[in-house]
Amino acid sequence: MQATARANTNIALIKYWGKRDEDLFLPMNSSISITLDQFYTTTTVQFCESISADLFVFNQQLANEAETLKVTRFLDIVRKMAGKEWFALVHSTNKVPTAAGLASSASGFAALAAASAKAIGLDLEEKELSKLARQGSGSASRSIFGGFVEWQKGTRTDGDDSYAKPILREQDWKLSILSVIVASREKKVSSREGMRRTVETSAFYSGWLETVERDMEIARAAINERDFERLGEVVEANALKMHATTLGAKPPFTYWQKGTMEVMTLIQSLRAQGMAAYFTIDAGPNVKVLCLPKDEQRVREKLLMLSTVQHVYTCHPGSGISFLPTSKNKKIPYDLESDRKDICYLSR
């Protein structure tokens, strides 16, 4: 009744931007990502008949009500699939530097999906795990797999054909992904809110939808042919298009800050000097730079010369989910057990 799983985070090359069904996390468009090797979440789920509510311990601390509710909502899906009503103790640890600004919802829900399904006795193949993880966070559907991954949007209303599948394994094309952390103020618009506002109000959203399928085809072909420049060009253009939609929203917004613009300008000027490097940006100010391993040190040095750049983490394609032995100290800690009656929000 317990299992531990680990999932790496991923970065989108062709972005998931907009939902056609918010409850089932069904996307308006398909997307492509690379699973990274550096940042991951490890989660242990233990279903217990002796507890009367879910307990969620995140990075060694009891999570707050909102975070616990997200886990409970997700576990409700798993409980329904298994026909069980047990509550669970969930221990999650993020190995994502706090300053990294990398979305941890992808690795978080992929690890939770894998660990909870196994712990409750569901024997799910990866495709099913991907569909399950998707219902926690869309991008989590892609973190089930390693390497280069495609999430096909599907057309069904029940989401049964909306899941990720691998394009190329991590060992089959070693690219470098530099995760560039820039000085920034706090993020104001979450990716969830940003995509919702854009779908509902942006005059440019239809342009996004008209061209994203073509971007998918180009990226898929470039990955299969290991054509780095072709991939880089479509990745950068796709990110710019996604961010253009936010400027047409009501009210308009942008994720870009001063450091974001400086990194973009630097990468474009390096390219003008003959270096193959391309950027992409998710729903925040930080930038990810794609280059070939032979250039990663030089690109890194150039990035670190910008005063707005705080850190550069060097990543490569990483693996999909893995299951680990559950360590003994993941039992319900005594203090949580005894304090449980005082934590009113945990009771249902």
Q: Quick one: 103 or 167, whose CB is closer to ligand FM0?
A: 103
Tokens of 145: 């797999």
One-letter amino acid for residue 335 of the chain: D
Contact present, 133 and 109 (Cβ < 8 Å): yes
Kindly state whether residue 192 participates in binding ligand FM0, applying the rule CB under 6 A: yes
Q: Are strands 163-168 and 87-95 parallel, antiparallel or unpaired?
A: unpaired
For 319, list phi and psi in degrees, rounded to 5.
-90, 170
**For the packed helices 258-272 and 296-304, what is the interaxial angle rounded to 10 degrees?**
140
One-letter amino acid for residue 229 of the chain: E
Q: Quick one: 138 or 285, whose CB is closer to ligand FM0?
A: 138
Between 257 and 286, how does the x/- string for binding to ligand FM0 read (CB under 6 A)? -------------------------xx---
Return the DSSP state at 317.
B
Q: Which residue reads 């420049």 in tokens? A: 229
Kindly state whether residue 191 participates in binding ligand FM0, applying the rule CB under 6 A: yes
Binding-site member from 139, 179, 238, 245 for ligand FM0 (CB under 6 A): 139
Which H or E element spans position 207? helix 205-224
Binding-site member from 16, 47, 173, 278 for ligand FM0 (CB under 6 A): 16
Kindly state whether residue 12 participates in binding ligand FM0, applying the rule CB under 6 A: yes
Kindly state whether residue 15 participates in binding ligand FM0, applying the rule CB under 6 A: yes
The window from 9-17, 202-210, 292-300, 320-328 that contacts ligand FM0 (CB under 6 A) reads 9-17
Tokens of 77: 């899906």
Q: Quick one: 16 or 40, whose CB is closer to ligand FM0?
A: 16
The window from 75-83, 133-141, 166-174, 259-267 that contacts ligand FM0 (CB under 6 A) reads 133-141
Tokens of 80: 């329904």
Distance between the two ends of the chain, CA-based, in angstroms?
22
Number of residues that bind ligand FM0 (CB under 6 A): 14
**Neighbour count for residue 229 (Cβ, 10 Å):** 12
**For the packed helices 228-247 and 205-224, what is the interaxial angle rounded to 10 degrees?**
170
Q: Closest separation between CB of residue 31 and ligand FM0, Å?
A: 5
Q: Are strands 87-95 and 55-58 parallel, antiparallel or unpaired?
A: parallel
Binding-site member from 5, 7, 18, 25 for ligand FM0 (CB under 6 A): 25
Between 283 and 322, how does the x/- string for binding to ligand FM0 read (CB under 6 A)? x---------------------------------------
The sign of the CA dihedral 151, 153, 155, 157 is: positive
The window from 56-64, 68-76, 131-139, 264-272 that contacts ligand FM0 (CB under 6 A) reads 131-139
Q: Quick one: 100 or 332, whose CB is closer to ligand FM0?
A: 100
Binding-site member from 35, 105, 184, 246 for ligand FM0 (CB under 6 A): 105
Binding site for ligand FM0 (CB under 6 A): 12, 15-16, 25, 31, 103, 105, 137-139, 191-192, 282-283
